[in-house]
Amino acid sequence: DKGNHRHFMEKEIHEQPEAISHALGHYVDFLEHAVRPVAGSIDFAKVPSLAISACGTAYLAGLVGKYWFERYARLPVEIDVASEFRYREIPLNPESAALFISQSGETADTLASLRYCKEHGLKIGAVVNTRESSIARESDAVFPILAGPEIGVASTKAFTCQLTVLAALAIGAGKARGTLTAADEKALVRHLAEMPRVMAGVLNTIQPSIEQLARDLSKCKDVLYLGRGTSYPLAMEGALKLKEISYIHAEGYAAGELKHGPIALIDENMPVIVIAPHDRFFEKTVSNMQEVAARGGRIIFITDAKGAAASKLETMATIVLPDVDEVIAPMIYSLPIQLLAYHTAVFMGTDVDQPRNLAKSVTVE
């Protein structure tokens, strides 16, 4: 049932504050401002490294997770898309743990990477939406994302719930490894707890500016997304979402890679969507934006009030989000990129919930 929404995707985008509250309740103790000890048989204090593997959007959630595990838990992370991971002959340490992220829990390549790690003796954790799935069954520890059923082929609430669970796990790992103090943990958990409220506020306010922009995007043939730090996987997620449902060609790039190739594409016909909260990477990303502007590129700037004030560049549009801590920025910045893809596809009249050539669950290799 779509309720009063036109598509499941729209409904699922709007369900995110609630879905995330639900997920947070499982991983976080709001009264104590602490993460719950959910790691089960995975001893994050002892593992020398972590392997992560997944496909599509789940892989991009894992890529954000890598930044968190490395930063908060000082745990080196090896990550790859499952279809490469399983064939790369990665020298794996049997003392390590591996996480497999999958909404459906049935993705063939992800399951094959899981089995590969299991054969090599690693402890296996599953970050899944479907607890009764092959990936969950074959894991030592199951970390449910509790997003509720996701019907739209384009993943939305599963992505932000995967991020939420990975953030909580990384904070838990940091606590176990002594790389986060109790005060750090408290502060991070407070930020996580703010998420549902901040998301609801964003969903209530950005719609008009997004619809306006979607009308312009629907006329484009190519779109480039740029980001740095955790905004880099988000740039790739924005591009994936747009191509998946609107069939517009889009690429997500690390902002710093712009001058190593994609800058050659810049002209007034290819909008460049820059995802840049006013964080420790902001100045660097703005200098990449300047390079775009200097070549006549049109910029769609997704930032916060500080970022909007600090950049003096002329943009095609600026979407201003609330000022949030770095740990929740990926979830909050997911909202405009999801809505932008959604409304662009609606303008183009594509089959948003069932895009051509795609299936919700990819059980073939």
Question: Which are the catalytic amino acids?
Answer: 360
- 261-269, long-range: CB < 8 A, 24+ apart: 262/224, 263/291, 263/292, 263/295, 265/222, 265/224, 266/224, 266/292, 266/295, 266/296, 266/297, 267/295, 267/296, 267/297, 268/296, 268/297, 268/298, 269/220, 269/221, 269/222
Q: How far is the CB of 141 from ligand M6R (least distance, A)?
A: 18
Paired tokens of 28:
């976080």
Q: 166 or 263: whose CB is closer to ligand M6R? A: 166
Give contact residues for ligand M6R (rule: CB under 6 A).
55-58, 102-104, 107, 110, 153-155, 240, 244, 361-362
Q: 102 or 315: whose CB is closer to ligand M6R? A: 102
Q: How far is the CB of 155 from ligand M6R (least distance, A)?
A: 4
Relative orientation angle of helices 16-27 and 182-205, to the nearest 10 degrees: 170
Q: 115 or 186: whose CB is closer to ligand M6R? A: 115
- With helix as H, strand as E and coil as C, how does 316-358 read? CEEEEECCCCCCCHHHHHHHHHHHHHHHHHHHHCCCCCCCCCC
Paired tokens of 297:
């590129």
**Distance between CA atoms of residues 269 and 99, nearest Å:** 40
DSSP β-ladder status, 222-227 and 249-254: parallel
**Distance between CA atoms of residues 299 and 155, nearest Å:** 26
- Residue nearest to ligand M6R according to CB distances in the complex: 56
Q: 305 or 358: whose CB is closer to ligand M6R? A: 358
Q: 146 or 286: whose CB is closer to ligand M6R? A: 146
CA dist list (Å): 261 to 10, 200, 254, 257, 284: 35, 38, 11, 7, 18
Q: How far is the CB of 163 from ligand M6R (least distance, A)?
A: 13
Q: How far is the CB of 104 from ligand M6R (least distance, A)?
A: 3
Q: How far is the CB of 240 from ligand M6R (least distance, A)?
A: 6
Q: 152 or 307: whose CB is closer to ligand M6R? A: 152
Q: What is the largest CA-CA distance in the chain?
A: 54
Q: How far is the CB of 154 from ligand M6R (least distance, A)?
A: 4
CA dist list (Å): 339 to 87, 177, 211, 322: 35, 38, 8, 16
